[in-house]
Amino acid sequence: MNHKQKLEEIFKKSSVVDDIDDLPTKYRAMIDNIANKVFSQKGAYTVLITLSIHKILHPKQDIRYHQNSMENGFSGRTIDTKYITPTLKSFDLPSMAESGWLTRSLEQPFPYTLDYNGHIQDREIKKSFLGLVDYIQNNPEKCENVMRLLLHKVTLIAQESKVKIIPLSDPDKITIGKMVKALHAHFSHNYHIFGGSKLPVLAFYAIYIILVEELSRFKNCELSPLGSHTASDRTSKTAGDIQVMKNDKLFEAVEIKLDKPIDANLLRIAKKKIITYNPNRYYLLSHEGVNMSEFSDIKNVINEIEQKHGCQVIINGIIPSLKYYFRMISDLEKFFNEYSKLVEEDDEIKKTHKDIWNDIIKNLNQ
């Protein structure tokens, strides 16, 4: 039996967990911590599942030594990439784009002992993750029940986060002005939780789905899959939130900020990405617009990028850019449908982000 088959077997058993009575309260609380933060801590949850499944199949392996380079270690990342993450996706459960080991805090070349040297910023998650790894390492017979309980809780949380986005009752009545007002309301709502910064990214991704299909400028181009908005620049290995590829090379990139105005520092960060990835155009858009007190420095960086690297850099506000793009596309309803689909399916934004979009649509439908 391989890792995929074992995970599938345990997942089937996780639908009922009433018979699990052999896990101490301390470790049940740790499982709850991992499950409750699964969308923001997908790396820790994925790595824990990988280690647990491997421990079941290879009980003599010390799973804390998760890299081949470690003495008596093994490649957890390879197992995750090949078996675990694809299987989690098939269950429609939260998962990484490729592997939990792409999370910077977990990829460090140190064993996952209780005094792990890697920097896991969330102290509660660090304590729970390392505590559970230690528990299943020393109690391999408990692995299956730990996994059943974790998968059970994550499944319930994932189901609770699902929201069906309602359609427009009369698409012919939607105007550019109404759509812009609706999006502005969605972006600007005070959610009091993490995740809202991805909403304008989803809006522009929806726009680019249409632009790549309709504009001659994007002939023979492909839109890269939308990546995780929680990944660091170093681990995401992308030039921007949105990337358009042409002949397997970066053609155009878009970086979107919700609550940071465009300043000279953001342009310098963009410059590093442009040097690395070499796009023809680079858009830097912000809901807060441009910091005009730094406009001279901003202009100097833009001119330097164009002269030395041949990349045209465009800076603008999110709302003015949306208005411009809406005039370019042929069907505003198509944009609405694409955006609503992305909002409905995205697992990094929260249920409340989806509920608010439904509330906004109800107002549009009146």
Q: 150 near 132, Cβ under 8 Å?
A: no
Distance, CA of 271 to CA of 282 (rounded, Å) = 9
**Lookup: tokens for 301:** 């960086």
Q: Is the pLDDT of residue 236 over 70?
A: no
Among 337, 97, 329, 342, CA closest to 205: 342
Amino acid at residue number 338: E
pLDDT tens digits, one per residue of 79-95: 999 999 999 999 989 89
Reported as type and span, the H/E element at residue 140 is none
Q: Is the pLDDT of residue 228 over 80?
A: no
Reported as type and span, the H/E element at residue 356 is helix 351-364
pLDDT tens digits, one per residue of 307-344: 999 999 999 999 999 999 999 999 999 999 999 999 99
Helix axes 25-36, 123-138, angle to 10 degrees: 130
Q: How far is CA 42 from CA 33, 39, 243, 300, 347, in A?
A: 12, 6, 23, 40, 10
Amino acid at residue number 291: N
Give the mean pLDDT of 90-109: 90
Lowest mean pLDDT among 85-94, 166-175, 219-228, 291-300: 219-228
What is the phi-psi region of residue 349: left when phi exceeds 0, alpha when psi lies from -120 to 50, beta otherwise? beta
Q: Is the pLDDT of residue 232 over 70?
A: no
Reported as type and span, the H/E element at residue 316 is strand 312-317
**pLDDT for position 235:** 46
**pLDDT for position 77:** 96
HSE-up of 123 (CA within 13 Å, CB side)? 0
Q: Is the pLDDT of residue 230 over 60?
A: no
Question: Is the model more confident about 238 or about 3?
Answer: 3
What does DSSP say about strands 242-246 and 312-317: parallel, antiparallel, or unpaired? unpaired
Q: How far is CA 102 from CA 150, 230, 241, in A?
A: 21, 12, 17
CA 67 to chain centre: 25
pLDDT tens digits, one per residue of 27-65: 999 999 999 999 889 999 999 999 999 999 999 999 999
Q: Is the pLDDT of residue 193 over 70?
A: yes
**Lookup: tokens for 254:** 């878009």
Distance, CA of 358 to CA of 67 (rounded, Å) = 45
- What is the CB neighbour count within 10 angstroms for residue 75? 15
HSE-up of 296 (CA within 13 Å, CB side)? 1
Domains of the chain, by residue range, sit at 3-160, 171-364
pLDDT tens digits, one per residue of 350-363: 889 999 999 999 99
Average pLDDT score over the chain = 93
**Lookup: tokens for 77:** 């990342």
Could you tell me the fold of the domain covering 171-364?
Answer: Trna Endonuclease; Chain: A, domain 1 (3.40.1350)
Q: Is the pLDDT of residue 104 over 90?
A: no
Provide the percentage of residues in the chain whose pLDDT is more than 70. 97
Give the mean pLDDT of 278-295: 94
Q: In what order do the strands lie in the sheet with 249-257?
A: 221-223, 242-246, 249-257, 281-286, 312-317
Q: 221 near 198, Cβ under 8 Å?
A: no
Task: Quickly state the pLDDT bin for 195 (edges 50, 70, 90).
Answer: confident
